[in-house]
Structure 1
């Protein structure tokens, strides 16, 4: 998954928490959340604010619409700047920006966050058992293992698929799950503890264990 695609999915988490997305968009988010611990953490931080909005009574807001306290916008922007100075990884958990958007109606754009450094992507060839499935994949080596970034379409909508990485000894190590989105494009990030030097391939299986997609590195 590209950084822009990942960022787009993360920016949709607020609407996801408020149940404002269509079924296909929700499926794409569900699939991404299955393999992305960072986005699951961000969603958990957004849930309390979303629950508060859902229980709000519009009739009690009064007229005119209440305005945020003076200086709130600048105080929040300063908090964002402080977060930005710590490290680029902190932008992955924009709890402060999300709180602003919900409580005060101020949007803090992604321009306030630095772009993360490029990561080495290794494209790998994939083969599918079903001609309707179209997919591509990249690998990202990490110190803790290998990351598989999978994108494609044609996976049965609503169906759960499991992903395994095979090591040099032939062992299959679980790398996560995703939910098919039918003909709609989907992207997901899957993580395995197998180091890149020992990873020989990966495979996607359906609920019955049938091989749907595979790659030999």
Structure 2
């Protein structure tokens, strides 16, 4: 029997177990039950519940049942509140990890206002044009490398690419940004390349692959 048919029939099983299903619907239900062992099994369980319900004495039901002890109420609500806080923390961590993965996949860049991590390592740009001031730090992460970058003095409106360079000279994109001239650009970038596999951090224009700024990552 198809799932759709079972779902329609099961809406009548409870009434049938209580003996309150209309005769016409009972005939259709019985025809289905003859060929559906799953629904027959469910009906047997419902009939057991119906027998217990018939033994209930309405006269013994208190209109105002006593509530649970205050200590139990406090323990339950405290546990629920702690679980909610834990779930919020887990969701926040999951969202942060998902954002990092997305940024890596897109080669993106985003501005952050959080305090710099104590595990970050500052790097020095040995190649740097006159009038341009840049500072950066890198941090090894489980998913790759996090880069904090501050740049001032690049021509306003020009787009620049940020990358990590491997020992063989190949590059892994970390994102791009549009320069703000004398306005300080502060960025946090992410790249899926471990620091141990990177030799240098660099910046170039999309049309010229020559490093405009370059900082070795290892002495």
Larger Rg: 2
- For the aligned pair, the TM-score class normalised by the smaller chain equals 0.3 to 0.5
Q: TM-score if structure 2 supplies the norm length?
A: 0.46
Q: Which has the higher contact order (CA 8 A, sep 6+)?
A: 1
